[in-house]
Chains A and B, each alone.
Chain A
């Protein structure tokens, strides 16, 4: 794990056909979880069972090699093979496997058919991302694993790729596990979300359940991080970072004692009528 010494202990199950997001701060163990499932990393002890196949059972000394687990893995930095063209990357993935999808159809679905003979290095970030997704699917995996797949892209590109991912997920009846620290990813894509913190699952459920908006009510809730708390004119003001904007809120003396800079908080308000104001398209 990124910062070393935490214990890592996770127990969960995923239904076939679900799209599950693994959400958490960096260093929470998200990538480690994905690598253990793929077989790229060996936990000290544990069991991984896919339908009726045992992939890992440390007690009985079973460890199915990564090659036999039939997963499609999209790496954070994509790991496209620089020596192969787009189509060759896909062909390499499909080679020696049965029932693989039509590769040109795969590329057509994401508008890459005209670029199929280009080398990955000559493509844009979003295009490379789609090649990585197609390559992971070219081997007809049972389980698709994505490690922060959209982290290097701008908002517009992210939106398009989310759509592509959803389309693929449905078209190929995949079971998908997506590691992300981006809340919109979770909301747009996931049927279920698992929140990891320091190597443990702290919450799981539908995105609405987990992020506190289950049931419709008149509350506005914003998640943020306390930047500072300072006194001003007999009053105490907390500055809270929400997304990329800072909101300043007065806090009472009692509250003040509980709050410290760096804390993650949920700001909610139920007293006023919510007004949605369009800021621009």
Chain B
């Protein structure tokens, strides 16, 4: 049986897109949670943390129901935008973004909160607005937290199984990511393929973590001495 590397490539692509999207949405969201107080803040925090404790199949099930063209949201997307998210790669991306949300938000929020409040205030007194303060003062000083967020999100998405299986199914080249390919191979007693996929995932995960720890030690320790 010939081994396809497509599931590995698909997993990497999914993880990359999810990480980039979460970085873009996660930074303003984490800053909001870290610096502002508003009504229902604890509700927002609880919702963001839910994927940590919820079985992935529960999240996947609800997303499947929501995306299904038989229901309001799915029908709405289908009718107005001609988008069908069930059993599609964009559907996987949305599921992954929700599922990995806390892995990006928590490190960023903790990073922002660890900064002395008057760095922000100093920037304001120098006439700089929120956006400039975020870009030039706050973000550069939480680089280790940003890196942690990126790595955790990427690695977590690579290893995702339940959500992906529920909303993506197992379509070759579309939604069959590495973790599902392993399950599929074992189901059909193709242990050879399962071994290869598993080893590749293991090496990628280990490599990412090793890289992060070394980078953190080398670059960020001396700079974060303040």
Q: Measured between alpha carbons, how far is A120 from B200 in the docked complex, in Å?
A: 44
Q: How many A-B residue pairs have CB under 8 A?
A: 65
Neighbouring A residues of B122 by C-beta, 8 Å: 73, 75, 79-81
Is A199 interfacial (CB-CB < 8 Å)?
no
Chain B residue with the shortest CB-CB distance to A88: B136
Q: Measured between alpha carbons, how far is A70 from B225 in the docked complex, in Å?
A: 31
Interface centre among A83, A120, A135 (most CB of B within 10 A): A83
Identify the stretch in A17-25, A55-63, A89-97 within 8 Å (CB) of chain B at 4 or more residues. Answer: A89-97
Q: Measured between alpha carbons, how far is A139 from B124 in the docked complex, in Å?
A: 12
Chain A interface: which size bin? 20 to 34
Within 8 A of A (CB), among B115-158: 116, 118-119, 121-129, 136-137, 140-141
Q: B-facing mask of A112-140, CB < 8 A → 1, else 0? A: 00000001110000000000000110010
30 pairs, A vs B, C-beta closer than 8 Å: A38-B125, A39-B124, A40-B121, A40-B124, A40-B125, A66-B121, A66-B124, A67-B128, A68-B127, A70-B127, A72-B125, A75-B121, A77-B116, A79-B116, A79-B118, A79-B119, A81-B123, A81-B137, A82-B141, A82-B224, A83-B137, A83-B140, A83-B141, A83-B223, A92-B126, A93-B126, A120-B226, A121-B226, A136-B125, A139-B126
Neighbouring A residues of B225 by C-beta, 8 Å: 121
A67 touches B124 (CB 8 A): yes
Is A32 interfacial (CB-CB < 8 Å)?
no
Dominant secondary structure of chain B at its interface with chain A: helix
Neighbouring A residues of B224 by C-beta, 8 Å: 82
Shortest Cβ distance from B117 into chain A, in angstroms?
9
Q: Measured between alpha carbons, how far is A273 from B10 in the docked complex, in Å?
A: 94
Neighbouring B residues of A79 by C-beta, 8 Å: 116, 118-119, 121-122
Neighbouring B residues of A175 by C-beta, 8 Å: none
- Measuring CB to CB, which residues of chain A are less than 8 angstroms from any residue of chain B? 38-40, 66-73, 75, 77, 79-84, 92-93, 95-97, 119-121, 135-136, 139
For the complex of A and B, the 4 pairs showing the least CB-CB separation, nearest first, are A83-B140, A79-B122, A73-B125, A79-B118
Chain B interface: which size bin? 20 to 34
Neighbouring B residues of A66 by C-beta, 8 Å: 121, 124-125
Shortest Cβ distance from A38 into chain B, in angstroms?
6
Neighbouring A residues of B129 by C-beta, 8 Å: 67
If A81-B137, A81-B141, A82-B226 touch, whether A135 touches B126 (CB-CB below 8 Å) is: yes
Neighbouring B residues of A135 by C-beta, 8 Å: 126
Name 19 extra pairs, CB < 8 A, besides A73-B121, A81-B141, A92-B128.
Answer: A38-B125, A39-B124, A40-B121, A40-B124, A40-B125, A66-B124, A67-B125, A67-B128, A75-B118, A79-B121, A79-B122, A80-B122, A82-B141, A83-B137, A83-B141, A92-B126, A92-B136, A121-B225, A121-B226
